[in-house]
Structure 1
């Protein structure tokens, strides 16, 4: 019987350099701040599109700017809906897991 030059159990239990580089509590805060930043960007884009559309309707401002703002808002909305669908799908997969 041949012997291995290492023990797989000790190799798996030793900390890796990436594990010790950042604290464990840092990752959720970074993800939460990124999520909050994305929501803020979405809200800002929607408000800008609404303001541009109102300015165009009331004062006859540049229609090209209105089309551009509405297109940006539509792209942001599509992205948010896609993300929401993925989150709902992941949640449903968790619910289907046997206990």
Structure 2
């Protein structure tokens, strides 16, 4: 039996924005909304995991864990909704006559 360790935000760690905030592109004054969304998603998952581990190990505040998990669930629901809209738009493009 293989031991597979998977972390949702570790997979997102490989996703790097093409430009850092220190070196914006010509005419660009803010980060890409997609890159910002990925970083928000990653941060929410990390916060929820840390809160769950602290509660399990040291008996930290369970209310903080529930709040962090609820926030992670909201972010995940938003990400799934965006993904569904992108897939739906792509399917509509495929159905268009050329």
TM-score higher than 0.5: yes
Alignment of 1:46-57 (within 5 A): 46-57=45-56
Q: Which stretches of structure 1, 4 residues or more, deviate above 2 A after TM superposition?
A: 29-32
Larger Rg: 1
Name the counterpart of 2:41.
Answer: 42
Kindly state the Cα deviation for residue 32 of structure 1 after the two structures are TM-superposed: 6.9
Q: Under a length normalisation based on structure 2, what TM-score does the superposition of the two structures give?
A: 0.68
More helix by share: 1
In structure 2, runs of 5+ residues without a counterpart are: 1-25
How many equivalent residue pairs?
Answer: 73
In structure 1, runs of 5+ residues without a counterpart are: 1-24
Secondary structure at the counterpart of residue 61 of structure 1: coil
Q: Under a length normalisation based on structure 1, what TM-score does the superposition of the two structures give?
A: 0.68
CA-based RMSD = 2.0
